[in-house]
């Protein structure tokens, strides 16, 4: 028998003996699309190389953080200098203060911010704070929005759970989620009804303003306006989950995009992650001073984390934010992303393949559907078999997108015009093969 020389397969076989499913986060497992996960050996700029030495144009970017591309010199330098000073202290550092100040300067809805280590931790803590500040228990979330794997939020969640067709997770007792109301995204009638029935008991409404875990679906402006109005009317807090969109779709996040359409718009609490850590494990949540001062040690809402504000992670995040604040950065990033989406739409149309796409800043999504979906049930009408063929067609030709049709994609400042053109040319070839199968 000829020995298997595929290093990705060798590593995956070994990993499955040691790690559940062979991966440390479910969507990496390729279960939805089939085949063998690519084990990354190194990355630079818009590319990574797998264990076999194969190069890929990377449109995941660590699921969003690598907005500058991999290994940006200024970020690498900042991290290396931080490492020489110490990995972790369990005591305050100046960089924590500097990063908090940088975030607050860029997000006007925040007066204060608390740094944590993951988006899940930030979302979980924001909900606890909302409940503590309002003295209420119930919360609203939307089907297809994913806010991390805290028990109370694993109710018809999107992302990895949707990939495996599980509406909830085992191990979550019914009584833990009894206060979580799950509504259809962009459904005004359900929203009105939920507040009419439960408004006095609602602590918060949590939403991804541009959902990235049912691919890329925007909250319509009238829907978002009504979310704000109803929360204000009933004394509930509007919580924006901007773990993905924060500093990714615009310098001020998705909330700045909605503020242009809705005068005076702002959420009460915001949850951030990914870009603010530059690829390091770092996240945050923040809001007005009166709410944030309900947190310990000032207030009765307890939240803590040994590695929160890690000195190496804050160095990485500060260096990243410094780069993306430069004039013209987001104009250039948005232009690249739009060029990619327009090229993919044209390539699909030329072959008669149903295809729709949308983007904002450096975040994008596409569907094998003739029109953009507006909620999770519409997203589920996508042809998963066709997507799997598309995924592997791109992968075999050196283009790496999310291995699940429920995930958004990301362009970095490091992607060149040549990278975009190569991707469109590859997609054109793949769409041609798809059209032959229809």
Question: Using one digit for the tens of pLDDT, what is the confidence trace for 255-271?
Answer: 999 999 999 999 999 99
Active site residue 50: no
| Secondary structure letter of residue 111 according to DSSP | S
* Known catalytic residue at 376: no
In this predicted structure, what is the pLDDT of residue 36?
95
Q: Among 38-42, 131-135, 385-389, which is the least confidently predicted range?
A: 385-389
User: What is the predicted pLDDT for the residue at 174?
Assistant: 77
For residue 350, pLDDT over 90 is answered with yes
Which pLDDT does position 154 carry in this prediction? Answer: 81
Average pLDDT value for the chain: 93
Cβ atoms within 10 Å, residue 232: 12
pLDDT band at 151 (very low <50, low <70, confident <90, very high): confident
CATH of 7-60+327-437, one of 3.40.640.10, 3.90.1150.10, 1.10.287.130, 1.10.357.10: 3.90.1150.10
pLDDT at site 358: 98
Say whether pLDDT at 164 is over 80. no
Q: What's the pLDDT at 1?
A: 55
- Identify the active-site residue in 56, 59, 146, 376: 146
* Alpha-helical runs (H) found in 107-175: 119-134, 160-163
Residue 193 has pLDDT above 50, yes or no: yes
- State the pLDDT at residue 152: 82
DSSP codes joined into one string, 351-381 = TT---EEEEETTEEEEESSSS---SHHHHTT
**Architecture of domain 73-324 in CATH?**
3-Layer(aba) Sandwich (3.40)
Q: Say how far apart CA 317 and CA 141 lie, in whole Å.
A: 29
Where are the chain's structural domains? 7-60+327-437, 73-324
Read off the pLDDT band of 176 (50, 70, 90).
confident
> CB–CB of 426/394 below 8 Å?
yes
In this prediction, residue 177 carries a pLDDT of 81
Q: Write down the catalytic residue from 138, 141, 156, 274.
A: 274
Predicted confidence (pLDDT) per residue in 286-300, tens digit: 999 999 999 999 999
Catalytic residue selected from 50, 58, 241, 358: 241
Q: Is 274 a catalytic residue?
A: yes
The confidence band for 3, taking pLDDT boundaries of 50, 70 and 90, is: low
pLDDT for 436 equals 61
Take residue 37 and report the two structure tokens written for it.
């996960």
Per-residue pLDDT reduced to its tens digit, 353-364: 999 999 999 999
Q: For the purposes of burial, counting CB atoms within 10 Å of the CB of 249, is it exposed (0-12), middle (13-18) or buried (19 or more)? A: buried
Mean pLDDT, to the nearest integer, of 43-54?
98
């Amino acid at each position: 028998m000829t020995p298997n020389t595929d290093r990705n397969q060798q590593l995956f076989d070994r990993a499955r003996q040691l790690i559940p499913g062979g991966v440390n986060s479910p969507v990496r497992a390729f279960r939805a699309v089939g085949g063998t996960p690519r084990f990354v050996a190194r990355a630079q700029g818009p590319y990574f190389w797998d264990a076999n030495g194969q190069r890929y144009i990377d449109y995941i970017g660590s699921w969003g953080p690598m907005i500058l591309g991999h290994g940006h010199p200024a970020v690498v330098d900042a991290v290396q200098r931080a490492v020489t000073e110490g990995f972790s202290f369990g005591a305050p550092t100046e960089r924590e203060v500097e990063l908090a100040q940088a975030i607050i300067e860029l997000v006007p809805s925040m007066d204060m911010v608390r740094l944590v280590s993951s988006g899940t931790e930030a979302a979980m803590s924001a909900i606890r704070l909302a409940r503590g500040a309002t003295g209420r228990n119930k919360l609203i979330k939307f089907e297809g929005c994913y806010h991390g794997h805290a028990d109370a939020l694993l109710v018809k969640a999107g992302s990895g759970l949707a990939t495996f067709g599980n509406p909830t997770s085992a191990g979550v007792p019914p009584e833990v989620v009894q206060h979580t109301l799950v509504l259809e995204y962009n459904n005004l009638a359900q929203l009105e009804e939920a507040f009419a029935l439960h408004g006095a008991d609602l602590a918060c409404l949590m939403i991804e303003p541009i959902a990235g875990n049912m691919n890329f679906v925007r909250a319509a402006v009238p829907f978002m306006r009504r979310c704000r109005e109803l929360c204000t009317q009933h004394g509930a807090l509007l919580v924006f989950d901007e773990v993905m969109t924060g500093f990714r779709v615009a310098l001020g996040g998705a909330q700045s995009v909605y503020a242009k359409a809705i005068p005076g718009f702002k959420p009460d609490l915001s949850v951030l992650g990914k870009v603010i850590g530059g690829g390091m494990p770092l996240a945050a949540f923040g809001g007005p001073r009166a709410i944030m001062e309900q947190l310990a040690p000032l207030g009765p809402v307890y939240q803590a984390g040994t590695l929160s504000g890690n000195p190496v992670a804050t160095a990485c995040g500060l260096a990243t934010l410094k780069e993306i604040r430069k004039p013209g950065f987001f104009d250039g990033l948005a232009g690249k992303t739009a060029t990619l989406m327009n090229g993919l739409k044209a390539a699909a149309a030329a072959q008669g393949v149903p295809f729709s796409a949308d983007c904002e800043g450096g975040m994008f999504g596409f569907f094998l559907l003739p029109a953009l979906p507006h909620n999770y049930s519409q997203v589920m009408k996508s042809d998963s078999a066709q997507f799997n063929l598309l995924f592997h067609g791109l992968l075999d030709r050196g283009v790496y997108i999310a291995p699940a049709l429920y995930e958004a994609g990301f362009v970095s400042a490091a992607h060149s015009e040549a990278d975009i053109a190569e991707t469109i040319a590859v997609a054109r070839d793949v769409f041609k093969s798809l059209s032959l199968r229809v």
